[in-house]
């Protein structure tokens, strides 16, 4: 049975039409679900009883559950249990501009990046779109506040679960869904070129972030196996085409690994690689994990690297560190829960 939180409004309209009902019923159901936060069909009082029963028969509305919560001052980390006893996680972050949430898109991940905790545990399955929507709903319910931006940067490779992620984005972006503006939604990918090209055709104004992490193909091959399937030079070309087509600036994520990708020569290499692209670089302090030998770059090395990018005319920022004390880094909570 399909879960009601995984149905985008246009599909629910189709559903009602197929039942001989008016399509505005979809709007009414969305108002109950997302505005009034009413889950049960028999509490949707402007829907007639018989139709409530039909809905209850056709759609489930159960929730994933919060298994564990860890918090520090600006960060709350949630471990969720899914219906099939798999675990995923999301992280809530408090910024000056509001609350943002980092959601997972898959149970585990097959991309196998050398430095990443999520990739240590292989992909078990895709997340359904309702399981992504519910991460946000449950956290909003827990904190009794509205979340204003969403980053799809938790466990998983979102473009490896394309259709469900797109349905999820459409529902949270819907003015009658969670009404999160497209420009407040960021999708991060390790570089699945055909899917980036597909995304460019969607005509949505979300932010695209590319996990680059290396300024040349030799190093990227070592850090990110995906680079063997989709070559760096093709990825750069795809980014160029994407920003030309969508008129959007693309974010380049670059995780700072001490002594691995953070020296001055590599900064200059990155500058020439990105020359002429409509991008900005986000330098990410590495979140160390107990299982992986990589270390975070020292603040001095990050500063030097950043200064070179700026001097050479790139736009760059250094990401604020969140949650490193509470295992909020990318898959750490889940991997403690799942014995491997
Ligand atoms: N698969 C997608 C999204 C999930 S990973 C992607 O690759 O972009 C989100 C980001 O966190 C990626 O840039 C990833 O490389 C980075 N990351 C993974 N492990 C990290 C760690 N321990 N510290 C900091 N960033 C990390």
Atom 22, ligand 1: residue with shortest CA distance:
287
- What is the spatial distance between Cα 131 and Cα 6, in angstroms, rounded to a whole number? 8
| Closest-lying ligand 1 atom to the alpha carbon of residue 160 | 1
- Residue 110 Cα to ligand 1 midpoint, Å, equals 13
Residue 338 CB neighbour total at 10 angstroms: 15
DSSP three-state, residue 216: coil
DSSP letter at 330? T
Residue bearing tokens 């390790």: 190
Atom 18, ligand 1: residue with shortest CA distance:
116
Strand-pairing partners, residue 251, are 209, 280
The model's pLDDT over 174-201, given as tens digits with 9 standing for 90+, comes to 999 999 999 999 999 999 999 999 999 9
pLDDT at 246 over 90: yes
- In this predicted structure, what is the pLDDT of residue 187? 98
**Residue 217: both structure tokens together:** 């193909």
Atom 9, ligand 1: residue with shortest CA distance:
153
Give the pocket of ligand 1 (CB within 6 Å). 111, 113, 115-117, 153, 157, 188-190, 211, 213, 253, 255, 284, 286-287, 289, 329-330
DSSP letter at 337? H
Helix spans in 78-225 (H): 129-143, 162-173, 193-200, 217-223
pLDDT at 326 over 80: no
- What is the spatial distance between Cα 215 and Cα 80, in angstroms, rounded to a whole number? 36
- In this predicted structure, what is the pLDDT of residue 324? 63
Atom 24, ligand 1: residue with shortest CA distance:
286
| Closest-lying ligand 1 atom to the alpha carbon of residue 332 | 22
- In this predicted structure, what is the pLDDT of residue 325? 60
- Residue 241 Cα to ligand 1 midpoint, Å, equals 23
- In this predicted structure, what is the pLDDT of residue 332? 57
Residue bearing tokens 């069909």: 41
Q: Read off the pLDDT band of 322 (50, 70, 90).
A: low
- In this predicted structure, what is the pLDDT of residue 73? 84
Atom 7, ligand 1: residue with shortest CA distance:
190
Pocket test residue of 152, 190, 206, 257 for ligand 1, highest count of atoms within 8 A of CB: 190
- Biggest CA pair distance of the chain: 69
- Residue 169 Cα to ligand 1 midpoint, Å, equals 20
Q: Environment class of residue 215 by beta-carbon count within 10 Å: exposed (0-12), middle (13-18) or buried (19+)? A: buried
- What is the spatial distance between Cα 218 and Cα 269, in angstroms, rounded to a whole number? 12
Looking at residues 35-58, what average pLDDT do you find? 96
Q: Which CATH superfamily is domain 65-339 in?
A: Aldolase class I (3.20.20.70)
pLDDT at 335 over 90: no
Selected from 1.10.150.120, 3.40.50.620, 1.10.150.530, 3.40.50.2000, the CATH number assigned to the domain covering 2-60 reads: 1.10.150.530
Pocket test residue of 77, 224, 235, 330 for ligand 1, highest count of atoms within 8 A of CB: 330
Q: Read off the pLDDT band of 328 (50, 70, 90).
A: low
pLDDT at 61 over 90: no
The model's pLDDT over 64-73, given as tens digits with 9 standing for 90+, comes to 999 999 998 8
The model's pLDDT over 83-142, given as tens digits with 9 standing for 90+, comes to 999 999 999 999 888 999 999 999 999 999 999 987 678 999 999 999 999 999 999 999
Q: How far is CA 143 from CA 76, 92, 99, 106, 206, in A?
A: 10, 10, 11, 24, 25
- In this predicted structure, what is the pLDDT of residue 333? 57
Looking at residues 202-207, what average pLDDT do you find? 94
- What is the spatial distance between Cα 128 and Cα 100, in angstroms, rounded to a whole number? 21
Domain boundaries, the chain: 2-60, 65-339
- Residue 118 Cα to ligand 1 midpoint, Å, equals 8
Contact between 323 and 306 (Cβ < 8 Å): no
The model's pLDDT over 134-149, given as tens digits with 9 standing for 90+, comes to 999 999 999 999 999 9
Atom 14, ligand 1: residue with shortest CA distance:
211
Catalytic residue set: 89, 330
- Residue 39 Cα to ligand 1 midpoint, Å, equals 33
| Mean pLDDT over the full length of the chain | 93
- What is the spatial distance between Cα 257 and Cα 262, in angstroms, rounded to a whole number? 6
- Residue 176 Cα to ligand 1 midpoint, Å, equals 31
- In this predicted structure, what is the pLDDT of residue 305? 98
- What is the spatial distance between Cα 270 and Cα 261, in angstroms, rounded to a whole number? 10
Residue bearing tokens 């259709």: 163
Q: Read off the pLDDT band of 340 (50, 70, 90).
A: very low
- In this predicted structure, what is the pLDDT of residue 329? 58
pLDDT at 339 over 50: no
Q: What is the pTM of this model?
A: 0.94
Residue bearing tokens 């960060």: 75
Question: Residue 32's Cα: distance from chain center in Å?
Answer: 26
| Closest-lying ligand 1 atom to the alpha carbon of residue 288 | 22
């Amino acid at each position: 049975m399909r879960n009601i939180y995984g149905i985008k409004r246009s599909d629910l309209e189709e559903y009602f039409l197929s039942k001989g009902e008016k399509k505005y019923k979809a709007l009414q159901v969305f108002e109950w679900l997302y505005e009034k936060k009413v889950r049960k069909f028999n509490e949707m009082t402007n829907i007639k009883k018989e139709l409530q029963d039909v809905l209850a028969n056709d759609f489930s509305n159960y929730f994933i559950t919060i298994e564990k919560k860890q918090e520090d001052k600006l960060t709350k980390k949630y471990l969720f249990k899914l219906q099939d006893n798999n675990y995923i996680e999301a992280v809530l972050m408090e910024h000056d501009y509001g609350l943002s949430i980092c959601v997972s898109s898959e149970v585990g991940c097959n991309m196998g990046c050398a430095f990443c905790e999520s990739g240590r545990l292989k992909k078990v399955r895709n997340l359904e779109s309702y399981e992504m929507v519910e991460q946000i709903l449950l956290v909003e319910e827990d904190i009794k506040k509205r979340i204003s931006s969403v980053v799809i940067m938790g466990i998983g490779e979102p473009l490896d679960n394309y259709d469900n992620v797109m349905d999820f984005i459409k529902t949270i972006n819907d003015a009658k869904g969670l009404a999160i503006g497209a420009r407040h939604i960021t999708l991060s990918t390790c570089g699945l070129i055909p899917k980036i090209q597909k995304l460019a055709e969607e005509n949505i104004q979300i932010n695209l972030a590319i996990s680059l992490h290396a300024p040349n193909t030799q190093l990227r091959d070592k850090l990110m196996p995906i680079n063997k399937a989709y070559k760096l030079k093709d990825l750069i070309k795809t980014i160029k085409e994407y920003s030309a087509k969508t008129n959007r600036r693309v974010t380049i994520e670059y995780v700072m690994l001490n002594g691995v990708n953070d020296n001055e020569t590599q900064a200059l290499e990155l500058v020439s690689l990105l020359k002429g692209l409509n991008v900005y670089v986000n330098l990410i302090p590495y979140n160390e994990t107990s299982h992986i030998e990589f270390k975070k770059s020292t603040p001095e090395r990050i500063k030097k690297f950043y200064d070179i990018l700026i001097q050479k005319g790139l736009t760059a920022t250094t990401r604020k560190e969140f949650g490193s004390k509470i295992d909020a880094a990318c898959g750490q909570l889940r991997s403690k829960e799942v014995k491997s």
